[in-house]
Homo-oligomer: A and B are copies of this chain.
């Protein structure tokens, strides 16, 4: 259900670090937002070093953007972002000072997976029993 996109300049993350980060994002999201790991998508975007600027100069941030269904409790959204930031620093070695995590939400009813409109937060169980893999 969720999609996470991790953006860094090319070469900032090893293949092992990418895999470890994907594993951590999947684990944390599944736990906090009650979604089976099989539904957590993580994509890495690694443009050349002259394509990432902060502030106005080539830089080396790690940007983690997530899309989640709207109406998860607000405290959980903050906890999700905080845990992702801490985990990303831990598994990549990039200092948290250079990590920005943004969780964006959108209506579940505007999203479709496996041919079915996604469930509202809290209605995952019924949806999974009807449509799950």
Give the oligomeric copy count. 3
Residues of B within 8 A of A99 (CB): 112-115
Tell me which residues across on chain B come within 8 A of A3, comparing CB atoms.
63, 65, 100, 102
Q: A19-B53, A51-B18, A102-B106 are in contact. Are A112 and B81 (CB under 8 A)?
A: yes
Complex Cα–Cα for A102 and B114 (A): 12
Give the bracket for the number of chain A residues in contact with chain B. 35 or more
Q: Which chain B residue has the least Cβ–Cβ distance from A98?
A: B114
A56 contacts B43, C-beta separation under 8 Å? no
Contacts of A77 in B (CB 8 A): 107, 109-110
**In the complex, what distance in Å separates the CA atom of A96 from the CA atom of B33?**
24
CB-defined A-B contacts under 8 Å, sample of 10 = A3-B63, A3-B100, A19-B50, A26-B55, A41-B61, A44-B51, A85-B112, A99-B113, A102-B106, A104-B106
- Taking Cβ atoms with an 8 Å cutoff, the residues of A that contact B are 1, 3, 7, 15, 18-19, 22-23, 26-27, 30, 36-47, 50-56, 59, 61, 63, 65, 67, 74, 77-78, 80-82, 84-86, 89, 96-97, 99-107, 109-115, 117, 133
